[in-house]
């Protein structure tokens, strides 16, 4: 028999525990969600490893979670038959914070304190295992990993900076595999009160009578198990029978999100490859700016025959510009031990990717058609950059991407319009889609290039995001109408009058030559133009040259 060994928590853990016990009062019930999700993770891990090592299951085939409540004594026990923990795991997992979710929580808590907002952070982030101390004085974790032949007991108390680990020696408490968590609840602590002495005497007599009775009756307790969760994962259910709230709940739980998604899509595909999926568009973009170029977001969880396989993808299921889409995908057609190499080469995966991408587009288009214009505005604000990136990177899907674009225009400076709205608003003779790239709506409005077009009531798109122009140039056209940069030299707005031009050339030809001589290499040529109405002159880009906006961009990149 080895005595319990005492360990100190890592400083961050102590700080977190202190916070939990002393300042987070609301949403206490989240502890249950956190602990059950840990138990469920432990089952997933074991299920995953057992695919390649069936031996792991031998001591207990069933993967389940038992929750026991002992109301009289204020004890809750959560037992799972999952992966368990070794002694070292206990030190690493329950004594330190290596885990990003909790670290994020601490950071957010600090920020919200700085900002003076009183938010429900615990409900938003969860603090994992330590949430047990929201409701418990004492927590005991007895656990057996299949990697170890011993079962260990971790024990911690609220308001203590240390915990202990010992070997489980009570044969009645041994489990074949997994983890048993015992919570000794705070609320059930007996409260001592000063009693009236007369009453106390009477009570004493009652007590004695009570005790006599008690010794006579043998109290037998037994546990009756009741199945509390659905045995079917939500994605296997009929979409018609699942409420929006259920989808949103599932999203929040699965992706550790606190905001509802902007949209969701639940579908089954049949034919060549069969799979089921639920996809979501989050309501905010990831805060980490690198995420737009990093497709490794863990946003898609792949299951094979309901067994969780992986969420570690690098563009296999979605192109990087759609990496913000979250969801689950469950296929019966992939092998359970699917590896990264298989994923990258599999024809099945390629077909899945194609379908998933289409469904994602349908879902986003759905938002754009929603009666509530705010929804799409929100989408655009958060994910517009991703759509533009798509125009540059995914030629194949130009037709699906273009209708999603939004721009300000000379006729809509406050509210962004779609290309469809632009086309609808075209004048009868108009054949092209006009745009001007500038660094803001104000500077776009003030450019002399606009004069003639405004006079003729032609709408001009304002491309004010640096990436806009590149995206538009990649699209080339929309509904067979070419995009035309109004700052380029040969702009033709349909009012060429050759006669008049000839006249003008004769009259001002020499003036042009003189100006060109004076400016020398600073300009390529000096020409007479009919495109201005009130400004005397304008600097334009060559037909095949960079627009001034692009030039500015290139300069910014090379400097």
Q: Which residues bind ligand ADP (CB under 6 A)?
A: 34, 38-39, 41-42, 80, 82-85, 93-94, 99, 101-102, 128-129, 179
The response to whether 73 counts as a known ligand-binding position is: no
CA distance 263 to 278: 10
**Residue 81 contacts which entry, Mg ion, ligand ADP, none (Cβ below 5-8 A, type-dependent):** none
Alpha-carbon dihedral 514, 518, 522, 523, rounded to 10 degrees: -10
**Residue 85 contacts which entry, Mg ion, ligand ADP, none (Cβ below 5-8 A, type-dependent):** ligand ADP
Q: Which residue is nearest to ligand ADP (CB)?
A: 128
Residue pair 247/266 in contact (Cβ under 8 Å)? The answer is yes
**Residue 99 contacts which entry, Mg ion, ligand ADP, none (Cβ below 5-8 A, type-dependent):** ligand ADP
Is 430 near Mg ion (CB under 5 A)? no
Quote the tokens at residue 384. 């517009």
Q: For residues 82 and 327, which CB has a smaller minimum distance to ligand ADP in the complex?
A: 82
The response to whether 313 counts as a known ligand-binding position is: no
DSSP string, 221-258: --------S-SS-GGGS-GGG--HHHHHHHHHHHHT-S
Helices assigned H by DSSP within 24-73: 30-52
Q: For residues 128 and 156, which CB has a smaller minimum distance to Mg ion in the complex?
A: 128
The response to whether 85 counts as a known ligand-binding position is: yes
Q: For residues 154 and 408, which CB has a smaller minimum distance to ligand ADP in the complex?
A: 154
The response to whether 340 counts as a known ligand-binding position is: yes
Size of the site for Mg ion (CB under 5 A): 2
Contacts of 417 (CB under 8 A, 6+ apart): 406, 407, 408, 409, 425
DSSP-derived 3-state class of residue 389: helix
Is 128 near Mg ion (CB under 5 A)? yes
Quote the tokens at residue 118. 């009183």
The response to whether 74 counts as a known ligand-binding position is: no
Q: For residues 126 and 146, which CB has a smaller minimum distance to Mg ion in the complex?
A: 126
CB of 338 to ligand ADP, least distance (A): 23
Q: Which residue is nearest to Mg ion (CB)?
A: 128
Closest CA to 303 of 281, 332, 323, 324: 332
Residue pair 264/341 in contact (Cβ under 8 Å)? The answer is no
Where residue 163 falls (left for φ over 0; alpha for ψ -120 to 50; beta otherwise) is beta
- 182's enclosing H/E stretch is strand 178-185
The interface region with Mg ion, picked from 35-43, 197-205, 309-317, 427-435 by CB under 5 A, is 35-43
Q: For residues 38 and 418, which CB has a smaller minimum distance to Mg ion in the complex?
A: 38
The single residue among 19, 20, 21, 38 that binds Mg ion, judged by CB under 5 A, is 38
Residue pair 278/328 in contact (Cβ under 8 Å)? The answer is yes
Residues that bind Mg ion (CB under 5 A): 38, 128
Binding-site sequence positions for ATP: 34, 38, 80, 85, 100-101, 124-129, 179, 340
> Which residues participate in the annotated binding site?
34, 38, 80, 85, 100-101, 124-129, 179, 340
């Amino acid at each position: 028999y080895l005595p319990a060994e005492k360990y100190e928590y890592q400083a961050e853990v102590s700080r977190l525990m202190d916070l939990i016990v002393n300042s987070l009062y609301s949403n206490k019930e989240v502890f249950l969600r956190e602990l059950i999700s840990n138990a469920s993770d432990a089952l997933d891990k074991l299920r995953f490893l057992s695919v390649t090592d069936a031996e792991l299951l031998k001591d207990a085939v069933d993967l389940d979670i038992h929750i026991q409540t002992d109301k009289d004594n204020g004890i809750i026990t959560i037992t799972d038959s999952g992966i368990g923990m070794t002694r070292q795991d206990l030190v690493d997992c329950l004594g330190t914070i290596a885990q990003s979710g909790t670290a994020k929580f601490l950071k957010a808590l600090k920020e919200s304190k700085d900002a003076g907002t009183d938010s429900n952070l615990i409900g938003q982030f969860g603090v994992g295992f330590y949430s047990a101390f929201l409701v418990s004085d004492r927590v005991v974790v007895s656990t057996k990993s299949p990697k170890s032949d011993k079962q260990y007991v971790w024990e911690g108390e609220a308001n203590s900076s240390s915990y202990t680990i010992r070997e489980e020696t009570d044969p009645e408490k041994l489990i074949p595999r997994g983890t048993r968590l015992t919570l000794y609840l705070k609320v059930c602590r007996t409260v001592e009160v000063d009693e009236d002495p007369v009453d106390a005497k009477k009570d004493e007599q009652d007590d004695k009578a009570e005790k006599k009775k008690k010794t006579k009756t043998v109290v037998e307790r037994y546990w009756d198990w009741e199945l509390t969760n659905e045995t079917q994962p939500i994605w296997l259910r009929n979409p018609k029978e699942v409420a929006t709230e259920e989808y949103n709940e599932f999203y929040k739980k699965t992706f550790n999100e606190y905001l509802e998604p902007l949209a969701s899509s639940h579908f089954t595909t049949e034919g060549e490859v069969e799979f089921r999926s639920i996809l979501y568009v989050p309501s905010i973009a990831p805060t980490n700016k690198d995420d737009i170029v990093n497709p490794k977001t863990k946003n898609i969880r792949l299951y094979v025959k309901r067994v969780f396989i992986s969420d570690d993808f690098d563009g296999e299921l979605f192109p990087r510009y759609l990496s913000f889409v979250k969801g689950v995908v469950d296929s019966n057609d992939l092998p359970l031990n699917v590896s990264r190499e298989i994923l990258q080469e599999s024809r099945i995966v390629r077909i899945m990717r194609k379908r998933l991408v289409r469904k994602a587009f349908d879902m986003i288009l759905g938002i754009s058609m929603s009666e509530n214009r705010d929804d799409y505005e929100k989408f655009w604000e958060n994910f517009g950059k991703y759509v533009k990136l798509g125009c540059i990177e995914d030629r194949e899907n130009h037709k699906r991407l273009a209708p999603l674009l939004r721009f300000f225009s000379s006729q809509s400076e406050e509210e962004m319009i779609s290309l469809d709205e632009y086309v609808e608003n075209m004048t009868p003779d108009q054949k092209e889609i006009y745009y001007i790239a500038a660094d803001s709506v104000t500077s776009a409005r003030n450019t002399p290039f606009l004069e003639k077009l405004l006079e003729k009531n032609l709408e001009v798109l304002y491309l004010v995001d640096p990436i806009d122009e590149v995206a538009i140039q990649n699209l080339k056209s929309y509904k067979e109408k070419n995009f035309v940069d109004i700052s380029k030299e040969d702009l033709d707005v349909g009012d060429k009058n050759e006669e008049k031009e000839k006249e003008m050339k004769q009259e001002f030809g020499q003036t042009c030559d003189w100006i060109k001589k004076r400016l020398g290499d600073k300009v390529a040529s000096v020409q007479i133009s009919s495109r201005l109405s009130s400004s005397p002159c304008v600097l334009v880009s060559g037909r095949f040259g960079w627009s001034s906006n692009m030039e500015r961009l290139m300069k910014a990149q090379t400097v």
